[in-house]
Structure 1
Amino acid sequence: MISPLAYIHPEAIIGENVEIGPFVYIDKNVVIGDNNLIMPNANILYGARIGNNNRIFPGAVIGAIPQDLKFRGEETTAEIGDNNTIRENVTINRGTAAKGKTVVGNNNLLMEGVHVAHDTHVGSGCIIGNSTKIAGEVIIDDNAIVSGAVLMHQFCHVGGYVMIQGGCRFSKDIPPYIIAGREPIAYSGINIVGLRRRGFSNELIENIHNTYRIIYNNGKNVTDALQQVKEEVPMSPEIEYIVSFIEKSERGIIR
């Protein structure tokens, strides 16, 4: 299962039933779990931690040092969960002293050419489109769908269950359950198709829609709009998530 043309550092820890193709490079201080497929020319570098049942395609680089001039060689990691598909030429840098690790959760699809910068946290169940570039210390919550060639500014927060249109760029937070698109990027309605596919009830979808109608369409400032949401929309974990996300936003939300 391991090609004789692959290089594996003797200190690397490799789990069971791992297939490693020719010209793969696996550095020291690397831990790889069980049932992984690592295709030719992939590079698994110092500090990488890879779970189980992942597929890593040719040219992917996991654990390269951050593209951050403040990095001074500190001990950090790039941590990949289980059941991820990491396509060709994806780059996932390890963390810096800021957070110590870059994390990609479980059951994600990172398409060709995606870049995940230092200290970023990608949740689970996400799809990240071709050539999307994620800057440092970005947070992407679970079940987000990001189309191709999207540019994310550092420190942004992307909510769960969003759909982001291809070619967008943004430097503010994108709250959960919405579609974000156009140029410049703006709120473009709720992700109703995605929510239905995920089993959200019609009543809950309507409550989410009413929440964003208050936030975006009544002309109030965000603080007053959130107060109105609390007074008028039935509370549920999903509505509380929206309110908490916006209240905690440090960069402000897209408008």
Structure 2
Amino acid sequence: MSTSIDAYARVDSGAELGGGVVVGAFAIVEGGVVIGEGSKIHPHAVIRRGTKMGKGCEVHSGSVLGGEPQDTKFKGEESFLEIGDNTVVREHATLHRASGEGCVTRVGSCCMLMAGTHVGHNGKVGDRVVMANLATLGGFVEVGENAFIGGMAGAHQFVRIGAYVMAGGGSVILEDIPPYMMVTGGYRPPVCGLNRIGLMRAGFSAEARQAIHKAYRILYREAESTQEAVALMKERLGGSAEVQKLVAFLEAGTGRGFASCRRRDCGETRS
């Protein structure tokens, strides 16, 4: 497959474009960029140095990929942005490369980053993540696979959002959200239950969903602390691979604490 570069596009001779890549009018592709085969760069998109995209990606107009990190410690060192296969970046999104020599901002495969979204420096976004319009991730934020971040939601730097989380629109996320949970919108959104529909759509078995539900009740109804919850999960549900992932997330806490539950008897944010 041959590439197609519009006469009004600017593609540096040092860029590497795979077969079948299409670059629209007035798009800019800087030197050192790698774009996988079958990808499409729409008019007026900008792909800056240090960016590596997989196959079948699509970048819409006005988006800037690989821009310098918004970090006062950044001094121009070489850093990177890596994007997996078949990821779609819609209009006016910004994905920044990392801060720190040789460091990488990563976005997985099959993601949908809608218009106006932002992935900050050193972020890690898993496969099949959806970020709705204007959702924003601060620096070093981690998002697990199959998570959904609602429109205009914002995540504080260093926050972790677990796999299969559903975060409501307008959420101001200040603490880690454990995998499989659903949080309402608004400031410091509480956990309001499990992302049941998301788990069913993802093909989780009834047995797996039941184990996750039991783990949820241990964490937010029974245990007095995260440490106690982890111990009880290991004792009662250690055979569940899905619960093991939840336990690993809780054990790797970053110090930001975990989102609390909506019900009063759940207490304050766990740490």
- SS of the equivalent of 1:195 reads helix
Q: Which runs of 5+ in 2 are unaligned?
A: 261-271
Show the 5 A alignment for 1:218-237: 218=222, 220-237=224-241
Q: CA deviation at 1:115?
A: 0.5
Instruction: State the number of aligned residues.
Output: 255
- SS of the equivalent of 1:203 reads helix
* In structure 2, distance between residues paired with 1:198 and 1:13: 35
Partner of 1:49: 52
Q: CA deviation at 1:81?
A: 1.1
* In structure 1, distance between residues paired with 2:185 and 2:47: 37
* In structure 2, distance between residues paired with 1:203 and 1:33: 39
Q: Specify the code of the residue in structure 1 equivalent to 2:88.
A: T
Partner of 1:142: 145
- SS of the equivalent of 2:82 reads strand
* In structure 1, distance between residues paired with 2:223 and 2:238: 21
Deviations 1:102-139 (A, max 9, x none): 11110000000000011101110111110001001111
- SS of the equivalent of 1:230 reads helix
Segment of structure 1 superposing worse, 17-26 or 178-187: 178-187
- SS of the equivalent of 1:207 reads helix
Q: CA deviation at 1:233?
A: 2.6
Determine whether 1:13 maps to 2:22.
no
Partner of 1:128: 131
* In structure 2, distance between residues paired with 1:13 and 1:234: 47
* In structure 2, distance between residues paired with 1:143 and 1:99: 27
Segment of structure 1 superposing worse, 175-184 or 2-11: 175-184
Segment of structure 1 superposing worse, 1-10 or 92-101: 92-101
Deviations 1:218-240 (A, max 9, x none): 25111112212222235211101
Deviations 1:8-33 (A, max 9, x none): 11111111111110000111111111
Aligned-residue sequence identity (percent) comes to 36
Normalization by structure 1: what TM-score? 0.97
Would you say the 8 A contact 1:99–1:119 is kept in 2? Answer: no
- SS of the equivalent of 2:5 reads coil
* In structure 2, distance between residues paired with 1:203 and 1:152: 32
Normalization by structure 2: what TM-score? 0.91
* In structure 2, distance between residues paired with 1:57 and 1:230: 46
Q: CA deviation at 1:217?
A: 1.2
Q: Specify the code of the residue in structure 2 equivalent to 1:112.
A: A
Partner of 1:93: 96
